[in-house]
Structure 1
Amino acid sequence: MDAKLFSVKSLTLSGTRLFWLLAIALTAIAFIFDVDLKTTVLGGRSLLLPLLLCSVVTAALGSWVIPMLVRLKTGQVIREDGPQAHLKKAGTPTMGGVFFIPVAVLIGSIWSGFSPEALAVCALTVAYGFIGWLDDWQILRLKSNKGISPKMKLGLQVLFGALFCLWLALTQPSTLSAIALPFGIVLPLGFLFWPIAEFVLVAESNATNLTDGVDGLMGGTGAIAFLGLAALVAPTHPDLALLCACFSGSCLGFVAHNRNPARVFMGDTGSLALGGALAAIALTTNTLWGLFLISGLFFVESLSVIAQVLYYKATKGPDGIGKRLLKMAPLHHHLELSGWSELEIVGSFYAISMAAIFLALLLH
């Protein structure tokens, strides 16, 4: 089957038009899955209000921060072995996570009534954002694509993840006992909670990091994923649903500047933080299965990298050179080199992410 059947090539799209389609879709989803969130400090019955507020604040703040990032010479260093079309993006400011993550964290904390659960998730998000900032800063300082060492990055992810899991163990021991699966199936965990939770935190943050490679891709799919998770957890955890709506709105506001052609990139500062937040919310609400479906696209992106590396190693010849399963990993780069435009990739991935939300809610 021709993969192009799933593209949006037949549509005449621009980055701006795709952004507004995303905004309309998110608004419609927030309206459809609106619930009575009585814990909100600011009042109101809506996932839509925090989403819109964070969108507007982030977009406005970005207009002020992006010129500052340009003056600070935070221009992205582009991989020479990446898609050649990306070379023209060299110099576009990165570290965009420094302005849209704080908006979600601050407004989300306030709107959720400073819920201990929301504050814990925000703390983990900031911690993972700090890891990403260290990586981005090292890349900019050395003017290369090599940031902090993989061991250091993994070690910090595991450390902050362990602290979050310890908080869960002390405050919500019932969360550690089992994983809820579809059709009323419950999988007992016991001590296995710890390695599984650590894996989810590390894997999700790295998956969102890998997905961030095309203008508007991670920002838009992140906005969709957070809103889907909000709808999933709203009946039982309205405070975290509000936090999810804030993250969704901040991602949308970021896409206003990150749409093709991007004026700013989120960098590891943003992408690692987003994955950490998604995983932390799913762990706190025992919705790991829902997270798996909602963020399935991120999982596929990660799987494409793993498959590429394993296949290359397995096919190494006497000369030490192996074969490539994909033209380039992650998957979005393979599609680029196969003739897809960035807008086709982003539009198709948005549609897949939307479908994943309804599948997760259907099986919940």
Structure 2
Amino acid sequence: MPGNSRPLALLLGLVLLGLALAGDWLARAPQLSLPLLVAALVSAGVGAWGVPRLRALKLGQVIRQEGPQAHLSKAGTPTMGGLLAVPVGVIVGGLVAPDDPRLLAVAALTLAAMAIGAIDDWQSLTKRHNTGLSPRGKLLLQALVAAAFLGWAWHGQWLGGADPGDIALPLGWVLPLGLLIWPLGLFVVLAESNATNLTDGLDGLAAGCGAIVFGGLGLQLMLRGNEGDPALAGFCAAMAGTWLGFLLWNRHPARMFMGDTGSLAMGAALAAVSLLSNSLWPLLVMGGVFLAESLSVITQVWVFKATKGPDGVGRRVLRMAPLHHHFELGGASEQQVVVGFWGASLLLVLVGLALLP
């Protein structure tokens, strides 16, 4: 596979634009294609402006030594690119329906997660080691902002379907959780933001998969008829466009990384939109790559600890976790893994759309 993946990134952009145009045509409303295009162009432009500035600030990524040895050459690539991308999606997405208070809540959670990621990235850079905040400290901060978001959403009666706390399931089933939606919502925000964080390990992997899942969520929100949500659909389209524009600078060979600054914000935004639009099931299906990445780490750690012998060594289910490293160490090139995961995400989006009532 060629060393420069620009044609693949452009192809992905055209596929998502085609899906957005198809959604606009089917819904008889130009809600997806315009915010996607505007956000993509602005994000790409901001990236062109920001890459040399991140490099001048010497915000170079620190690569962990225990990772694949081929990644050591990435050391020094500017990180914290999420500071350039995330605000673009939030602003363009907010302009879709500026009077909708739910978009303000989604924006607040997204930017708060970006701030937590930025603190984590900054500490990692200043320590010159691939660890920033402690896992417990980072999780606590995420839980606090997630709880604030859930309180805001519950007060606005935005959680669930017609009745607060109702969760839509396939085949028209409804799960009436009531107040139990609070712990579920907290779990979704934490799980999704950390799953996207784990996925951000190869050039263009998280950005491409994120663009696809945001595009899929936006499309299903426009095709749900009276149960659809044009405002949140437009926000999703803007976020999809943002990550497509970012992908021009994050594709292989990456000129900048999003860092935790971008990956935590990506997952938080996906969780927020899904909670406010009663789209938890579509997110579970369409975001299957993020789920698989997270489960691969959980399984690897659990099996290793459960089988650890007197020598302190346990069995490994995978060659290395997260899952993308397993395929890399199996002989696949970085670009092959990334494109394969993009393809899997596109397939899962189609499955999620097929499950619409």
TM-score normalized by the length of structure 2? 0.95
Q: SS of the counterpart of 1:179?
A: strand
Does residue 160 of structure 2 align to residue 172 of structure 1? no
- Cα distance in 2 for partners of 1:182, 1:349 equals 25
Cα distance 1:337–1:36, how it changes in 2: closer, same or farther (>3 A)?
A: closer
Q: Quick one: distance in 1 between partners of 2:96 and 2:173?
A: 33
Q: Which residue of 1 aligns with 2:136?
A: 151
Match of 2:121 in 1: 136
* C-alpha deviation, 1:20, in angstroms: 1.3
- Any idea what SS the aligned residue of 1:304 has? helix
* Shift in Å, 1:112: 2.1
Q: Which sections of structure 1, spanning at least 5 residues, go unmatched? A: 1-10, 39-43
Instruction: Assess if the C-alpha contact under 8 Å between 1:208 and 1:218 holds in 2.
Output: yes
Amino acid at match of 2:196: T
Matches of 1:177 and 1:323, distance apart in 2: 42
Residue 200 of structure 2 is matched in structure 1 by: 212
Q: Secondary structure at the match of 2:167?
A: strand
Aligned-pair CA distance for 1:192:
1.4
- 2:183 corresponds in structure 1 to 195
Q: Which amino acid aligns with 1:184?
A: G
User: Distance in 1 between the 2:97 and 2:346 partners?
Assistant: 25
After TM superposition, give the deviation of residue 287 of structure 1 in Å: 0.8
Q: Per-residue deviation at 1:51?
A: 0.6
Q: Does 1:52 align with 2:45?
A: no
In structure 1, the residue corresponding to 2:175 is in which secondary structure? strand
Which residue identity does 1:232 align to in structure 2? Answer: Q
CA distance in 2, matches of 1:274, 1:291: 13
1:123 aligns with 2:144: no
| Alpha-carbon distance between aligned partners in 1 of 2:296 and 2:237, rounded to the nearest angstrom | 29
2:297 counterpart of 1:301? no
TM-score where L is the length of structure 1: 0.93
Partner-residue secondary structure (3-state), 1:33:
helix
Measured in 2, the distance between the counterparts of 1:62 and 1:223 equals 16
**For residue 23 of structure 2, what is the amino acid of its counterpart?**
F
Aligned pair partner of 1:246 in 234, 238, 242: 238
RMSD (Å) for aligned C-alpha atoms:
1.5
Q: Is the 8 A contact 1:113 1:239 kept in 2?
A: no
Give structure 2 stretches of 5+ with no counterpart. none
1:331 aligns with 2:323: yes
Q: 1:253-272 to 2 correspondence within 5 Å?
A: 253-272=245-264
Aligned pairs for 1:221-236 (under 5 A) are 221-234=209-222, 235=225, 236=228
Residues 321/181 of structure 1: CA separation in 2 closer, same or farther (3 Å cut): same
The 1-side partners of 2:271 and 2:144 are apart by 15
Mapped pair 1:30 → 2:15: no
Cα separation, 1, equivalents of 2:137 and 2:112: 14
* C-alpha distance 179-13 of structure 1, shift in aligned 2 (>3 A): farther
Aligned-pair CA distance for 1:250: 0.4
Give the number of aligned pairs.
349
Single out whichever of 97-106 and 227-236 deviates more from structure 2: 227-236
Q: Is residue 2:260 matched to residue 1:280?
A: no
Displacement of 1:138: 0.4
Q: Indicate the residue corresponding to 1:8 in structure 2.
A: none
Match of 1:17 among 7, 30, 36: 7
1:350 to 1:131, Cα distance in 2 relative to 1, 3 A: same
Query: Post-superposition shift, 1:114?
Result: 3.7
Distance 2:174 2:145 in 1: 27
Q: Does the 8 Å contact 2:39/2:92 carry over to 1?
A: yes
Matched, 1:345 2:337: yes
1:90 correspondence with 2:75:
yes
Cα distance in structure 2, aligned partners of 1:173 and 1:114: 15
Deviation of 1:66 (Å): 0.8
Q: Is the 8 A contact 2:196 2:290 kept in 1?
A: yes
Task: Give me the whole-angstrom Cα distance separating, in 2, the residues matched to 1:276 and 1:196.
Answer: 14
CA distance in 2: counterparts of 1:158 and 1:35, whole angstroms: 39
Residue of structure 2 aligned with 1:106, choices 69, 87, 91: 91
Q: Distance in 2 between matches of 1:12 and 1:63?
A: 23
User: How big is the shift at 1:174?
Assistant: 6.0
Aligned partner of 1:184 among 172, 190, 195: 172
> Displacement, 1:14?
3.9
Give the deviation of 1:259 after TM superposition. 0.6
Q: Is the 8 A contact 1:36 1:45 kept in 2?
A: no
Where 2:24 maps in the other structure, the secondary structure is coil
Contact 2:47–2:246, Cα closer than 8 Å, also in 1: yes
